[in-house]
Amino acid sequence: MKTWVWVVIVAVILAVSLTVGVVLLTRQPQGNVAYVYVDGELVYQVDLSKVDQPYLYTVNTPYGTNVLEIAKDSIRIADADCPHKECVEQGRLKGSPLVCLPHRLVVKIAEDDADSVSR
Amino acid sequence: MKRALTKRIVIDGVLTAMALAIWVVEAQIPLPLPVPGIKLGLANVVTLFAMFALGPLDAGVILLVRIGLGSVFGGGLTAFLFSLAGGALCYLLCLLLRLVVKDKQIWVLGALGAIAHNAAQIGVAIALTRTTGLVVYLPVLVAAGVITGTLTGLAAQASYLALKRTTLLSRLKGGASLPKEPDDVAGEEDETEKKNQK
Amino acid sequence: MRKPFFVIVISVCLVLSLGLGLFGCKQAPKEKTFFAMNTLMTVSLYGDSALLDECGRLLASLDRTLSATDPTSEVYRLNHGGTSEDEHVKELLDKSLALSRLTEGAFDPTVYPVVRAWGFTTGDYRIPAQDELTAALSKVGYERIAWKEGSISLPQGVEIDFGGIAKGYAGDLVKRYLLDKGLTSGLLNLGGNVVAIGAKPDGTPYRIAVKDPVGEGYMCILPVVDKSVVTSGLYERYFEKDGVKYGHIVDPSTGYPVDNGFLSVTVVGEDGAKCDALSTALFVMGPQKACEFAKSNALSVVMATEDCLYVSSDLSSSIAWKGEQNKRVVTL
């Protein structure tokens, strides 16, 4: 196959993934409730819009500890004892989840909706 | 024959050491993106180069040894799983692609291999945290992979092609013809390859 | 040289769009809404949409059988001295009597004359005169029904209405039908009675909200797998006169609409008819008795009064409270 064919393929992949990627990551978080999961299980949830005073919440995972800083409409991982502390660098939770991989910890905003309402 | 095997082990060892050194250094570079586990993947230069200069078997061995030693040098179990998954998928893809690709298209393996590498890593991240929501990071990782992969691929390509123009390559692979000045050859290899890594 | 270029670009685009499409789309259920039992009923299922129409027919047929106001219904006939062999009516009466005994009359299908006196059956809300109420109340009493099996007939003066259990029962029937047809995932909302069939196709539980009895939002959200969620409240059918609110849930022992502080009572369980009847019964019992009853019968409940939220221990870890959280939460 000619080289320029490959160039086109790779260029297309780059363009598409870049656009999709940026769109996905700049989405505004929908909903007010932050959910904290360890190993896929919900360990903590908080309605960020109802938070008055900022506070720290410690999550003890079987793999290590993370400290969450929770304020009104804001949540971030403030500290962790994982090797690279990449989770701390992720900053505030925006559209995409906060992750501490070594600790299997994920913080995400979930939509507030329900599948049906009982009344 | 014994001499050939010894030479091969030495060359593979040198390359592994280089890959490891690159890997350890780049692991210290934190990337500004809010994406978990993203790294430049520069060490792949060596793997890719080896794939063409020495063959898939050597490349595979260099890769596995580098990953194994890499986890000893730092990162722990999580990092090990990540490197392994990423490296494995990338390697398999390159194994196939090298059959359809010409010499001047080695960079393609870099780009697509990096995509496979990053995709595998996100897969592992999702499996470990059991959160499928992480897949939202995949497109960005693909894009990043294309960029860094193309660059490392080009580097590997340049090294390989440069080396091909000399007689060193046949002597690396074959081993049947003994070089007249073994020390000189070793020195040249080092310099040439180091220059091309930059 | 042009041809391979196009082929490649197009196939790449196809693969990419396929990937993006699969990634973006979530599987959507097929849904249909029917009007039955004086309310809106929605059936959502992950499966054959032909089943939806059959569900509609089931609901309509059940409505015709059970409606106390429809002169052609089985129940109407029973209330006017006739007999019935209908299997649904038998099943419902059997269940209703058992639940009446269990709740010691807090749930009582014979309370119909009283409910009618207040105008809740027609919408012509009124405060009945004292002697009218006494007369109606004298007809109430599930113990009078001696029927156990065979052809049903009611004692003179007794009138029944399955309003407090029919929707739950309907949910059970539709669920049974859909399960028979091989359905593994679906959601019903029959006038506020929610029935989860299995879990969602991806295995995650259905998220069922309970409406906030005061205001617009949700009181809480519960993860539910394969269970019914039934709520009793006064906020949908009530009237106000001289500053006093009269809700449609009537205490069978006093003949008056209950006013014991309860705003909302939700029962979760596998038997929808039971949940329906129990939510009414607990509401009638009032907070203290209801908490004792729920505990001793190991019921899964969420109940709300003006200043307190009660939740059974099995739900307390998975419940997600919404809205104002300045109420005290008591775990049973």
Q: Give domain status of residue B143, yes or no.
A: yes
Does the distance separating the beta carbons of A17 and B136 come in below 8 Å?
no
The stretch A85-100 carries a mean pLDDT of 82
Inter-chain touch A118–C1, beta carbons under 8 Å: no
pLDDT interval class at C25 (50, 70, 90):
very low
The Cα–Cα gap between B86 and B78 comes to 12
Residue B76 inside a domain? The answer is yes
Start-to-end Cα distance in chain B:
34
Per-range mean pLDDT, top range of A19-23, C9-13, C182-186: C182-186
Close Cβ partners of B9 (under 8 Å, ≥ 6 residues apart):
none
Tell me the mean pLDDT in the region C223-232.
Answer: 96
C164-200: per-residue pLDDT in tens? 999 999 999 999 999 999 999 999 999 999 999 999 8
Q: What architecture is domain C38-331?
A: Roll (3.10)
In a domain, B197, yes or no: no
Residues of A in contact with B136 (CB under 8 A): 24-25, 95-97
Residue pLDDT, tens place only, B65-104: 998 888 887 667 777 888 888 889 999 999 888 888 888 8
Concatenating the DSSP letter of every residue in C63-108 gives: HHHH-SS-TTSHHHHHHTT-EE--HHHHHHHHHHHHHHHHTTTSS-
Mean per-residue pLDDT over chain A, rounded: 83
Return the SS3 of B64.
helix
Q: Pick the closest to residue B37 from B27, B46, B49 (CA basis).
A: B27
**CATH number of domain containing B69:** 1.10.1760.20
Task: Give me the pLDDT at residue B73, please.
Answer: 75
- Residue C20 sits at the chain A interface (C-beta within 8 Å): yes
Confirm whether B121 is domain-assigned: yes
pLDDT score, position A93: 84
Q: Please name the chains neighbouring A, where neighbouring means 3+ C-beta pairs under 8 angstroms.
A: B, C
Would you state the pLDDT for residue B185?
46
* C175 inside 8 A of chain A by CB: no
Type of residue found at C39: T
Is residue C15 very low, low, confident or very high in pLDDT (cuts 50, 70, 90)? low
Which of the residues in chain B have pLDDT under 50? 175-188, 191, 198
Sign of CA dihedral B8, B12, B14, B15: positive
Give residue C216's identity as a one-letter amino acid code. E
What pLDDT, on a 0 to 100 scale, did the predictor assign at position A1?
Answer: 67
**What is the reported pLDDT for C118?**
95
Chain A neighbors of C231, CB-CB under 8 A: 118-119
Position A5 pLDDT exceeds 80 = yes
Cβ neighbours of residue A54 closer than 8 Å, sequence gap 6 or more? A69, A70, A71, A72, A74
CA separation for the pair B110, B161 (Å, rounded): 15
Q: Which is more confidently placed, C163 or C5?
A: C163
Q: In chain C, what is the straight-line distance between the N-terminal and C-terminal CA atoms, in Å?
A: 76
The answer to whether residues B171 and B179 touch, using CB atoms and an 8 Å cutoff, is: yes
The total of structural domains in chain B comes to: 1
Residue B24: predicted pLDDT: 83
Q: What is the pLDDT of residue A34?
A: 83
Give the CA distances from residue C224 to residues B88, B111, C210, in Å, rounded to whole numbers and listed in that order: 40, 45, 12
Dihedral angle sign, alpha carbons of residues C48, C50, C52, C55: negative
Alpha-carbon span C228 to C274, nearest angstrom: 10
> pLDDT tens for residues C84-116?
999 999 999 999 999 999 999 999 999 999 999
Does some domain include residue B161?
yes
Q: What is the pLDDT of residue B53?
A: 87
Contact A114 C209 (CB under 8 A): yes
pLDDT at residue B176, as a whole number: 42
Q: Quick one: pLDDT band at residue C4, thresholds 50, 70, 90? A: low
- Beta-carbon separation of B139 and A14 below 8 A: no
CA A25 to chain centre: 10
Give the integer Cα–Cα distance in Å for C37 and C237: 14
Residues of chain A with a CB closer than 8 angstroms to some CB in chain B: 1, 3, 6, 10, 13-14, 16-18, 20-22, 24-25, 37, 39-41, 83-84, 86-87, 89-91, 94-97, 99-102, 104-106, 108
Q: Was domain A33-110 assigned CATH 2.60.320.10? A: yes
| Size of chain B, expressed as the number of residues it contains | 198
A and C: number of Cβ contacts within 8 A? 70
Q: What integer pLDDT is reported at residue B55 of this predicted model?
A: 86
Q: How many CB atoms lie within 10 A of CB B61?
A: 18
- Give the pLDDT confidence score for residue B34 in this predicted structure: 56
Q: Is the torsion defined by CA of B110, B116, B117, B118 positive or negative?
A: positive
Amino acid, single-letter form, for residue C2:
R
Beta partners for residue C112, in sequence order: none
Which tokens is B189 given? 């290899």
Rounded to whole angstroms, the Cα distance separating C223 from C116 reads 37
Domain ranges of chain A: 1-29, 33-110
Identify the band that residue C314 occupies on the pLDDT scale cut at 50, 70 and 90: very high
Q: Which residue has the tokens 């089931």?
A: C58
What is the secondary structure of A56-117 as a DSSP string?
A: EEEEEETTEEEEEEEETTEEEEEEE-SSS-HHHHT-B--SSPEEETTTTEEEEEE----SEE
Least confident of B182-186, C29-33, C250-254, C270-274: B182-186
B126 within a domain of the structure (yes/no) = yes
pLDDT band (50, 70, 90) for residue A99: confident
* Predicted-complex ipTM score: 0.85
Mean pLDDT for all residues in chain C:
89
Q: Say which amino acid occupies C160.
A: I
